[in-house]
Chain A
Amino acid sequence: MPMELLKYGLRRGHRPYADIPATPELRKRYDVVIIGGGGHGLAAAYYLSHYHGITDIAVLEKGYLAGGNTARNTTTIRSNYLTPPSIEFYREGIGLYETMSQELGFNVMFSQRGQLTLAHSDAAMRSFRLRAEMGKHVGIRAEVVDAQTVRELCPQVNMDIGGQHEVMGGLWHADGGTARHDAVAWGYAKRAAEKGAEIHQRTEVTGFGIAGERVTEIRTNRGTIAAGQILQAAGGMNGHIAALAGLKLPIRNFPLQAMVTQPLKPFLDILLSSSNLHTYLVQSSRGEIVIGGATDPYQLVSTRSSLPQKEALATGALHLMPFLHNVKILRQWAGITDVTPDFSPIMGASPLQNYWLDAGWGTYGFKATPVAGKRMAETIATGRVPDILLPFALERFERFELLNEMGATAAGH
């Protein structure tokens, strides 16, 4: 049998199996053009092509497929937010993750192992009580647990009794989980491409032609194209792409840094974070401990890393699990987040009639990949923003109807 396999592999004219077709020639016009070939854009292409009968789609990606924040995030999936509109939205996202592998016929390795956020202060406990009650009100699984339950859920955690960071309790979110980020993007890309959606890698948007209140042309480094509808889902570059279309979004960029350790045998079977230490830990299916935290302390449009930030991540990780002190860091990186003033995304219409926004995803975009793709596809196909997206409209800033998620996103992810 191995001999047969070898012969098959070495056969002349053997064509390796490809999930994603090579980038085709750019045509003159598409019904829908999606700017950004990350998880959100590819999910939108999937839902448009499979649920709304729209297959004349081009996904434009400046770099390579899902190589931006889809590749750089730390894959936490949760819905224990603070405001009911957010909780409802992310709850729908988790529901889609639960069935994603079956739906796509592509193993996204979704692991619903639960998320535990630790409190080391009375203030943190107080905010957890509010979040737990809001979660119960909307109908997700979120509960405040005491120190003893923390010990049972995660026996490895350093409780630091009487110390500087004594664990006082936590917020247990049984719905929380993680999935393989590349698989999510590739699964959507593969199924969208099967229906005819074109994925154009290394195709950078350089400008727009605008007449009246419509975008008439999209200029790229590979030529100019026209589109019926346009979806902008450009991750860290959202503010800058919108500026090319003459739109001003309330977005600022901050790097978000993360790192992984060398692989260890499985020992951590939950997602662990600490709101006081601004650190979270998760063990990947490869055994690596993924360490993430808060964004950089000042604005930057760069994926550079910095030693102080990595040291802060390591310090937090060692407070939670001192036994990691001899473990080596294997890889480290950063992504560019597009942060809004209220730490909530901007989804829906823009001042331009055929230009739709899926922006402002800051540090929380990955968990929303399926639901943002699904709901933005619905928006584009019907021309109507669904109710679940209305609280995330760009106009909320003009109306002072902010959706404040600062307390729920600053460290928890």
Chain B
Amino acid sequence: MKVMVCPLNGPRNISEFQWLGPVQDAPEATGKNLIDRLFHAPNPMGVIREWWRHMPSNTVFMAERNLITDEILRTWLNGADADKPEGEA
């Protein structure tokens, strides 16, 4: 069983989670980056930052995952300091 740590509910079976796709650099699609934003999602041979949802509790959060090893490196709630994991100063 593959386990993912929900920032709200702790470690849960990966089957309880829904993958919502990579976090894009630009928050919104505008004229200049429209093509990039729509069609060129990140696909690195390494670590990717992405949106996930814990379905039973409808908790949407962020995760960092290695696309080669499928290792989930960290998960955190997206707040005002979205790029910092919880507990980090």
Contacts and interface: CB of A to CB of B under 8 A. Distances in A.
Interface of A: 239-240, 248, 250-253, 297-302, 304, 306-308, 341, 397-398
Nearest to A398: B35
B29 to A, nearest CB: 13
B40 A304 contact: no
A239 B45 CA distance: 10
Q: Which of B35, B38, B43 is most buried by chain A, counting CB atoms within 10 A of its CB?
A: B43
Contact of B41 (A252, A304, A307, A397): A252
A253 B67 contact: yes
A145 to B, nearest CB: 35
B70 interface: yes
Interface of B: 1-2, 14-15, 18-19, 21-22, 35, 38-41, 43, 45, 48, 50, 67-70
B35 A299 contact: no
B14 A248 contact: no
A308 B14 CA distance: 9
Contacts of B70: 300, 302, 304
Nearest to A250: B39
B43 A252 contact: yes
Given A253-B67, A306-B2, A398-B35, A299 B43 contact: yes
Given A301-B67, A302-B69, A304-B70, A341 B39 contact: yes
Contacts of A398: 35
A299 B39 contact: no
Nearest to B41: A252
B35 A397 contact: yes
B38 to A, nearest CB: 7
Nearest to B15: A308
Q: 3 tightest CB-CB pairs across the interface, nearest first?
A: A298-B19, A250-B39, A252-B43
- If over half of A's interface residues share one DSSP class (helix, strand or loop), that class is named, otherwise mixed; here it is loop
B68 A301 contact: yes
B19 to A, nearest CB: 4
A248 B48 CA distance: 17
A251 B35 contact: no
Q: Which of A248, A301, A307 is most buried by chain B, counting CB atoms within 10 A of its CB?
A: A301
A301 B19 contact: no
A302 B68 contact: yes
Nearest to B40: A250
Given A250-B40, A298-B50, 8 more contacts: A240-B45, A250-B39, A250-B41, A298-B19, A299-B19, A301-B67, A308-B15, A397-B39
A401 to B, nearest CB: 12
A192 to B, nearest CB: 30
Contact of A341 (B38, B45, B48, B68): B38
A300 to B, nearest CB: 6
A302 B1 CA distance: 18
B69 to A, nearest CB: 7
19 contacts: A250-B39, A250-B41, A252-B43, A253-B67, A297-B18, A298-B19, A299-B19, A299-B50, A299-B67, A300-B67, A300-B70, A301-B45, A302-B70, A304-B70, A306-B2, A307-B1, A308-B2, A308-B14, A397-B35
Nearest to B18: A297
A359 B40 CA distance: 15
B40 A248 contact: yes
Nearest to A252: B43
Q: Which of A240, A300, A306, A307 is most buried by chain B, counting CB atoms within 10 A of its CB?
A: A300
